[in-house]
Structure 1
Amino acid sequence: MPLNLENPLVDRDTMDCRVLVYTRTTAFRHASIPEAVAALRSMVGIDMVHTEDPASFEGGLEGFEAVVFLSTSGDVLNPAGRTHLTRYVESGGGFVGIHSAACTEYGWPGYGDFLKARFTRHPDYQPGMALVEDADHPATRHLPTVWEFEDEWYDFDTSPRGTSRILAVVDESSYTGGGMGTDHPIAWCRHHGDGRVFYTALGHAADAYKDAAFIEHVRGGVLWAAGRLK
């Protein structure tokens, strides 16, 4: 039976945040998915349900405070699932996209409306420098201003700046092969209807999910999307 999050007798502050973590892939599949799922499962304050079954969306998403698309790729939902996910976010649910969530549902315009940018290409996996632009967000307030990290440094078809709150960008001079220039967001958030959307382009390799700073980055994004953190 779904948890009734609107019940006034339920004190949400004393409960773990209940999230649905979705990892279905119909295109490239990241080898890091098992480590990523384990990392989210171990996060303090988060009670997660993991699935790769698109039927999980067909009956609605009541009882979940956020839905996490974790390194999904390709077309991963059926029409009923798309309808329920749209209704869920617009009515106040949280949505989190991690890494190749931006390589997902290219044929569904509504998904592009959630993220406001889609993956186009990436250079080789390599070290680079992420620059925290907004340190007041739960996903970034623990990070140094210059965050050295190793990833694929995704390029996107457009910048989400202007439609989203940019949390971090990557300095393209710190690695080889960047294609977006001086304004290259890699983490952002936004409101969509009554819901909240958080996206981070990071998280390609299994090692990321052993990195305490990255784990807190994701945890902060999830809890913010769920409305648990201001």
Structure 2
Amino acid sequence: MRESYEFAKRAFCLAGLFLVLTACSPRWAPPAATPSPSLAVASSSPSPTAVRILVFSRTAAFRHAAIPVAIASIVHLGSEHGYLVDATEDGEAFSDANLARYRAVVFLLTTGDVLDEAQQAAFERFIRAGGGFAGVHSASDAEYGWAWYGKLVGAYFQRHPAVQSAVIRIEDASHPSTASVPASWKRTDEWYDFRANPRRDVHVLATVVEATYSGGGMGADHPIAWCHGFDGGRSWYTAMGHAADSYSDTNFLLHLEGGIESVAGISASDACAGHG
């Protein structure tokens, strides 16, 4: 498994080199947008029984520069672990027929209002039918007017201080997303405060220790990753993953892999089922 993360690191470096070279060329222009409802950016060998994951990274407010690298990392995780990954920014992917193809949907660095009412309704039906949801970082900074979505995620973003190092304390080391990371995990990220503490409604997997960084506003109990069963489906959220270098960090990739695979039913986790 560690070898796959070394591959991801090399891919990250090559992606950065490509961006530098293309940005410096006066003749370069970004490619035209693809109108396809679900754009398959990469996959493992096709199989009629393979688990499929949909990665959705549309933004209607702040856009994270990490999105391309983050997508590439999830695609690589899928190819290494035997599931197919499609990535899109097109809300038309949220139809009953299309969502039925997937075991889980990842809201990756989404911001703002990204789905219309019909698309929201289709996604609600997907979750109620037993689908999985994984939210990464600013997935909590989206769809403030859609109360159901806020409950699915577990909390809405409120504010953050400057990017800095902090210590994460693992509360449940049995979950796939926290089983392989250090019990006291020091890393650099953008540490979100939330409008309300989600603890009473979710199963908290990890907290960030506010005494180890400056500007935190939630106090001694500051959840940063959690999971819960919600409305018939499965939900996992991590507030980490702001910067591109997260997606070449071995521990963060283990965290991300475990979260996605838990809501897709690839990795078993009973701890979350009784919450929500």
Q: TM-score when scaled to structure 1?
A: 0.92
1:88-127 correspondence runs (5 A): 88-127=126-165
Q: Which residue matches 1:9?
A: none
Structure 1 gap ranges (5+): 1-13
Q: Which residue matches 1:10?
A: none
Partner amino acid for 2:239? Answer: A
Q: Which residue matches 2:53?
A: 19
Q: Which residue matches 1:58?
A: 95
Partner amino acid for 2:51? Answer: C
Matched, 1:70 2:104: no
Q: Tell me how many residue pairs correspond in the alignment.
A: 217
> By how many angstroms is 1:58 displaced?
2.6
Matched, 1:37 2:61: no
**Structure 2 counterpart SS, 1:147:** strand
Partner amino acid for 1:30? Answer: H
Bigger Rg, which one: 2
Q: Is the CA contact (8 Å cut-off) linking 1:22 and 1:67 kept in structure 2? A: yes
> By how many angstroms is 1:191 displaced?
0.2
> By how many angstroms is 1:116 displaced?
2.0
Q: Is the CA contact (8 Å cut-off) linking 1:102 and 1:115 kept in structure 2? A: yes
**Structure 2 counterpart SS, 1:38:** helix
Matched, 1:193 2:235: no
Q: Which residue matches 1:3?
A: none
Matched, 1:145 2:183: yes
Query: Which of the pair is proportionally richer in helix?
Result: 2
**Structure 2 counterpart SS, 1:42:** helix
Moved more, 131-140 or 110-119: 110-119
Q: Is the CA contact (8 Å cut-off) linking 2:139 and 2:153 kept in structure 1? A: no
Q: Which residue matches 1:215?
A: 253
CA distance in 2, matches of 1:147, 1:16: 33
Q: Is the CA contact (8 Å cut-off) linking 1:95 and 1:225 kept in structure 2? A: yes
Q: Is the CA contact (8 Å cut-off) linking 2:96 and 2:126 kept in structure 1? A: no
Q: Is the CA contact (8 Å cut-off) linking 1:67 and 1:95 kept in structure 2? A: yes
**Structure 2 counterpart SS, 1:139:** coil
**Structure 2 counterpart SS, 1:35:** helix
| 1:110-167 deviation per Cα after TM superposition (whole angstroms, max 9, x unaligned) | 1111012100000000000010000010000001110011101100011111111100
CA distance in 2, matches of 1:141, 1:133: 10
CA distance in 1, matches of 2:169, 2:132: 25
Partner amino acid for 2:68? Answer: P
1:106-185 correspondence runs (5 A): 106-185=144-223
**Structure 2 counterpart SS, 1:64:** coil
Q: Is the CA contact (8 Å cut-off) linking 1:116 and 1:160 kept in structure 2? A: yes
> By how many angstroms is 1:16 displaced?
4.5
CA RMSD, Structure 1 to Structure 2 (Å): 1.2
CA distance in 1, matches of 2:253, 2:108: 13
Q: Is the CA contact (8 Å cut-off) linking 1:118 and 1:156 kept in structure 2? A: yes
Partner amino acid for 2:148? Answer: G
Structure 2 gap ranges (5+): 1-47, 269-276
Q: Is the CA contact (8 Å cut-off) linking 1:153 and 1:178 kept in structure 2? A: yes
Q: Is the CA contact (8 Å cut-off) linking 1:17 and 1:223 kept in structure 2? A: no
**Structure 1 counterpart SS, 2:168:** strand
Tell me which stretches of 4 or more aligned residues in structure 1 moved more than 4 Å.
none
| 1:16-43 deviation per Cα after TM superposition (whole angstroms, max 9, x unaligned) | 5310000000000000000100000100
Q: Is the CA contact (8 Å cut-off) linking 1:96 and 1:198 kept in structure 2? A: yes
Partner amino acid for 2:207? Answer: V
